[in-house]
């Protein structure tokens, strides 16, 4: 039984590690999307400054840029929302896998405790037998 539990624990540790790796990857992807959105916002601010400094030249180009940037912003915001949902699902998966691992670890801990208690009980019986034999020898 001990070997079986040890194998199950090892398997579940591997699953937890894999799910954590996936979660980390999703966090990285989410960070990249958020960074792209921030870069776009910064670029919008810079283009607005340029448009204000030279309004005649920026009249045509800024309008198209702004329209395209708003489309990209919307796409990025949708992608971020979708990625946040993926992260939440992955986080739940990690938590569930961790709970399962803890169940097996607790079962192993209890098994070891029972084995130790049984060993102690057998030692006590053996010691009692030795003491009884010594007592009988003294009486004889």
What DSSP string describes 35-50?
A: HHHHHHHHHHHHHHHH
Token code pair at residue 15: 């699953």
What range does the domain containing 80 cover?
2-139
Asked whether the beta carbons of 16 and 94 are under 8 A apart, the reply is yes
Q: Would you call 71 helix, strand, or coil by DSSP?
A: helix
CATH number, domain containing residue 78? 1.10.287.1700
Task: Report how far residue 49's alpha carbon sits from residue 18's, in angstroms, rounded to the nearest whole number.
Answer: 47
Give me the tens of pLDDT residue by residue for the chain, a chain 140 residues long. Answer: 668 888 999 999 999 999 999 999 999 999 999 999 999 999 999 988 888 887 777 667 788 888 999 999 999 999 999 999 999 999 999 999 999 999 999 999 999 999 999 999 999 999 989 989 888 888 87
Closest CA to 81 of 35, 33, 41: 33
Task: Report how far residue 74's alpha carbon sits from residue 103's, in angstroms, rounded to the nearest whole number.
Answer: 44
- Look at the chain and report how many structural domains it folds into: 1
């Amino acid at each position: 039984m001990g070997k079986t539990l040890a194998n199950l624990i090892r398997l579940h540790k591997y699953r937890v590690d894999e799910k954590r790796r996936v979660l980390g990857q999703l966090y990285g992807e989410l960070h990249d999307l958020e960074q792209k959105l921030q870069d776009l916002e910064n670029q919008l601010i810079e283009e607005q400054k340029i448009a204000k400094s030279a309004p005649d030249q920026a009249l045509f180009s800024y309008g198209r840029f702004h329209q395209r940037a708003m489309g990209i912003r919307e796409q990025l915001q949708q992608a971020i929302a979708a990625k946040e949902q993926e992260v939440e699902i992955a986080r739940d998966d990690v938590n569930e896998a961790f709970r399962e691992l803890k169940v097996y670890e607790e079962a192993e801990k209890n098994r070891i405790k029972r084995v130790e208690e049984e060993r102690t009980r057998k030692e006590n019986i053996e010691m009692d037998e030795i003491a009884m034999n010594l007592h009988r020898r003294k009486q004889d």
